[in-house]
Amino acid sequence: MTDEGLSRRRLLGVSGTAAVAGVMAGAGGAYAVSRGEDAAAAGAPSSTTSGALALDAAIPFRGEHQAGIVTPAQDRLHFVALDVVTKDREQLRQLLEDWTRAAERMTAGAEAAPGGLVGGGPNRAPEDTGEAYGLPASGLTITIGYGPSLFDDRFGLAAKRPAALQDLPAFTGDQLDPRRTGGDLCIQACANDPQVAVHAVRNLVRLGFGVVAVRWSQLGFGRTSSTSTAQATPRNMFGFKDGTNNVKAEEPESLAQHVWVADADDTGGGAWMAGGSYLVARRIRMHIEVWDRTSLQEQEDVIGRDKKEGAPLGATKEFDTLDFAKKGPDGAPSIPMTAHVRLAHESQLGGIRILRRGYNFTDGSDGVGHLDAGLFFIAYMRDPAKQFVPMQRALAKADGLNEYIEHNGSAVFACPPGLKDGEHWGQALFA
Ligand SMILES: C=CC1=C(C)c2cc3[nH]c(cc4nc(cc5[nH]c(cc1n2)c(C)c5CCC(=O)O)C(CCC(=O)O)=C4C)c(C)c3C=C
Ligand SMILES: [Fe+2]
- Alpha carbon of 148 to ligand 2 centroid (Å): 25
Long-range contacts of 290-296 (CB under 8 A, 24+ apart): 290/403, 290/404, 291/238, 291/404, 294/404
Kind and range of the H or E element at 280? strand 277-286
User: At 186, is the pLDDT very low, low, confident or very high (cuts 50, 70, 90)?
Assistant: very high
Interface predicted TM-score (ipTM): 0.99
Flag whether 253 is in a domain. Answer: yes
Please name the residue ranges forming H helices in 84-177: 89-107
**Residue bearing the CA closest to ligand 1, atom 7:** 377
| Rounded Cα–Cα distance for residues 55 and 136 (Å) | 9
- Alpha carbon of 86 to ligand 2 centroid (Å): 38
Note the pLDDT tens digit of each residue in 222-236: 999 999 999 999 999
- Alpha carbon of 338 to ligand 1 centroid (Å): 13
Question: Looking at ligand 1, which atom is closest to the CA of residue 346?
Answer: 28
Question: Looking at ligand 1, which atom is closest to the CA of residue 236?
Answer: 39
Beta bridge partner(s), residue 412: 280
| Rounded Cα–Cα distance for residues 410 and 416 (Å) | 20
The yes-or-no verdict on residue 53 having pLDDT over 90 is no
**Residue bearing the CA closest to ligand 1, atom 40:** 375
The H helix count followed by the E strand count for the chain is 10, 10
Backbone angles phi, psi at 375, to 5 degrees: -120, 120
Please tell me the predicted confidence (pLDDT) of residue 321. Answer: 98
| Rounded Cα–Cα distance for residues 344 and 243 (Å) | 12
User: At 54, is the pLDDT very low, low, confident or very high (cuts 50, 70, 90)?
Assistant: confident
Flag whether 428 is in a domain. Answer: no
The yes-or-no verdict on residue 149 having pLDDT over 60 is yes
Beta bridge partner(s), residue 359: 223, 376
Looking at the CA of 285, name the nearest ligand: 1
Looking at the CA of 380, name the nearest ligand: 1
Give just the sign of the alpha carbon dihedral 237, 238, 243, 244: positive
- Per DSSP, 17 falls in state H
Flag whether 135 is in a domain. Answer: yes
**Residue bearing the CA closest to ligand 1, atom 12:** 242
Question: Looking at ligand 1, which atom is closest to the CA of residue 237?
Answer: 39
Please tell me the predicted confidence (pLDDT) of residue 398. Answer: 98
Flag whether 425 is in a domain. Answer: no
Note the pLDDT tens digit of each residue in 11-27: 333 333 333 333 333 33
C-beta neighbour count of 21 within 10 angstroms: 13
Flag whether 314 is in a domain. Answer: yes
Number of domains in the chain: 1
| Rounded Cα–Cα distance for residues 215 and 142 (Å) | 18
Ligand 1 interacting residues, C-beta cut-off 6 A = 236, 238, 240-246, 282, 284, 286, 303, 305, 322, 340-341, 344-346, 354, 374-375, 377, 388, 391-392, 395, 401, 405
Flag whether 377 is in a domain. Answer: yes
Please tell me the predicted confidence (pLDDT) of residue 44. Answer: 38
Flag whether 429 is in a domain. Answer: no
Which of 30-44, 217-231, 261-275 is predicted least confidently? 30-44
Instruction: Give the domain range for residue 191.
Output: 3-415
| Rounded Cα–Cα distance for residues 431 and 271 (Å) | 12
DSSP 40-80: TTTTPPPTTS-GGGGGGPPPPS-SSS-TTSSSPP-SEEEEE
Flag whether 46 is in a domain. Answer: yes
Residues 107, 193: contact at Cβ < 8 Å? no
Question: Looking at ligand 1, which atom is closest to the CA of residue 282?
Answer: 5
